[in-house]
Amino acid sequence: MSLADIFLACLGGGSNAGPQAPYLSAQEASQLPLDAFVHRSLECAPSALEQSREFVDILQGHLQRGANSAQVARIVSESLARMGGAGASKATVDWACQLLMLASQEKDGGNPERYRPPQAAGGSYAQVTGSGNGGWETPKQQQHQQQRPQSGGNVYIKSFFFPSEESFSELINFLDSAKTSLDICVFNITDNDVARAIGNAKKRGVNVRIVTDDEQLKCKGSDVERLNEQFGIPFKTDNDPQKFMHSKFAVIDRRAVWAGSYNWTVGARRSNNESVIVTNDSRTAQAFSDEFERLWGQF
Ligand SMILES: *[C@@H]1O[C@H](CO)[C@@H](O)[C@H](O)[C@H]1NC(C)=O
Ligand SMILES: *[C@@H]1O[C@H](CO)[C@@H](O)[C@H](O)[C@H]1NC(C)=O
Ligand SMILES: *[C@@H]1O[C@H](CO)[C@@H](O)[C@H](O)[C@H]1NC(C)=O
Ligand SMILES: *[C@@H]1O[C@H](CO)[C@@H](O)[C@H](O)[C@H]1NC(C)=O
């Protein structure tokens, strides 16, 4: 099957029948090198379509780390040939099309209209993947003004639960509202959308610092070193394989805190039951700022 055949098949081809495809979890897929990822995800295409957000993120991770559209197209083509060509299932053809579209768009570099699979075209997520040119601020401020004042009359305090794309969009809003400083102390940061928001903060002049766990730095997909190389964001780790720097909080402008169980990973965002509290209570913000400084000083 040639690439042209794939595009023709996108217009309605592919067979519906066929043997049951094997299952591939997003977790496992995220560990694979590009060629194995493309091949396995095509073989297990129903899994890729079911978890398309995760799989799209995984591909985008590869593209960000330097894979290009020609490479993806070649692997897609070889994989389909290995899988027996023209008889490919509808799911395989659909997923092949998505891979090719994603790869070719990424080549345009900096195109804010990132391709999203149809299932992911929901409101809040579409909002948070916007171009980050200040469009964030408006909805955020509106949301904050809509908060009912708490007992003190002027303390913002709100709880968020995961998995939830709405809660996730709050994390992005939170990061995006940093004006002077963003102090992040999180066990595991592998979510590319979060990393992008962190990079954007640095780009608009926010003083960003990250404390993280030394073990997770070695994990595939860890964004901390990349953020350091790409944007010069300084980070520190606990440097102790026996222990975990297990906190998960962030402070913006020494004024507001995001804290909870939530790892900044796609797994936590989409699969785990997690809980978070956000507040601008000044004593809490001060305490978390102090804790950050303690860790930063100690590591
Ligand atoms: C906290 O946020 C509320 C709005 O939700 C605002 O009225 C208040 O001034 C903020 N307090 C601080 C200390 O920034
Ligand atoms: C960090 O998250 C990734 C998934 O995003 C996972 O594969 C990895 O094991 C995690 N690291 C640790 C130390 O838990
Ligand atoms: C999330 O953090 C826990 C520790 O709190 C860790 O064991 C786990 O591997 C992490 N999970 C993901 C998906 O990053
Ligand atoms: C807990 O997580 C599971 C798996 O993502 C999800 O199906 C379930 O709805 C979550 N429960 C709550 C109360 O959010």
124 lines ligand 1 (CB under 6 A): no
Residue 116 located in a structural domain:
no
Statement to judge: residues 193 and 283 lie in one domain: yes
Q: Assign 20 a pLDDT band (cuts: 50, 70, 90).
A: confident
Counting the structural domains of the chain, the total is: 2
CATH classification at residue 240: 3.30.870.10
Statement to judge: residues 18 and 133 lie in one domain: no
Statement to judge: residues 205 and 143 lie in one domain: yes
Statement to judge: residues 137 and 185 lie in one domain: yes
Statement to judge: residues 102 and 132 lie in one domain: no
DSSP designation for 189: B
Structural domain for 66, as ranges:
3-111
Q: Burial, 102: exposed, middle or buried (Cβ in 10 Å; 0-12, 13-18, 19+)?
A: buried
Q: Is the pTM of this model over 0.75?
A: no
Domain boundary among 89, 111, 133: 111
144 is catalytic: no
Statement to judge: residues 139 and 93 lie in one domain: no
Residues 112-125: pLDDT tens digits?
Answer: 444 444 333 333 32
Residue 117 located in a structural domain:
no
Q: Do the Cβ atoms of 22 and 98 come closer than 8 Å?
A: no
147 lines ligand 1 (CB under 6 A): yes
Q: Compute the distance between CA of residue 155 and CA of residue 150 in angstroms, rounded to an integer.
A: 6
248 is catalytic: yes
Mean pLDDT over residues 278-297, rounded?
A: 94
214 is catalytic: no
Residues 170-213: pLDDT tens digits?
Answer: 999 999 999 999 999 998 888 999 999 999 999 999 999 999 98
Sign of CA dihedral 121, 126, 225, 219: negative
Residue nearest to atom 1 of ligand 2 (CA): 188
Domain boundary among 60, 77, 111: 111
Q: Do the Cβ atoms of 92 and 52 come closer than 8 Å?
A: no
Statement to judge: residues 231 and 270 lie in one domain: yes
The pick from 148, 156, 289 for probing ligand 1's pocket by mutation, whose C-beta has the most ligand atoms within 8 angstroms, reads 156
DSSP designation for 86: G
Q: What share of the chain in percent tops pLDDT 70?
A: 77
- Measured in angstroms, how far is the CA atom of residue 7 from the centroid of ligand 2? 36
Statement to judge: residues 105 and 126 lie in one domain: no
Cα 116–chain centre separation: 13
Statement to judge: residues 131 and 96 lie in one domain: no
Residue 2's closest CA among 114, 89, 107, 81? 81
